[in-house]
Amino acid sequence: MGRKKLLIVDDQIGIRILLLEVFATEGYETFQAANGRAALEIVRNHAPDLVLLDMKIPGMDGLEILKKIKEMNREIKVIMMTAYGELDMIKEATDLGALMHFTKPFDIDEMRIAVNMQLGDDGPPSRYAIGT
Residue numbers of the domain that contains 77: 5-119
Domain count, the chain: 1
Q: Is residue 20 part of a domain?
A: yes
The CATH number of whichever domain residue 46 belongs to comes to 3.40.50.2300
Report the length, in residues, of the chain. Answer: 132
Q: Is residue 131 part of a domain?
A: no
Q: Is residue 37 part of a domain?
A: yes
Q: Is residue 124 part of a domain?
A: no
Q: Is residue 103 part of a domain?
A: yes
Q: Residue 108 in contact with residue 22, Cβ under 8 Å? A: yes
Q: Is residue 17 part of a domain?
A: yes
Q: Is residue 127 part of a domain?
A: no
In Å, what is the CA distance from 44 to each residue of 5, 7, 47, 69, 70?
Answer: 13, 12, 6, 9, 11
Q: Is residue 129 part of a domain?
A: no
| Cα gap 33→47, rounded to integer Å | 14
The residue type of 110 is E
Per-residue pLDDT of the chain (132 residues; tens, 9 = 90+): 689 999 999 999 999 999 999 999 999 999 999 999 999 999 999 999 999 999 999 899 999 999 999 999 999 999 999 886 677 889 999 999 999 999 999 999 999 999 999 998 544 444 444 443
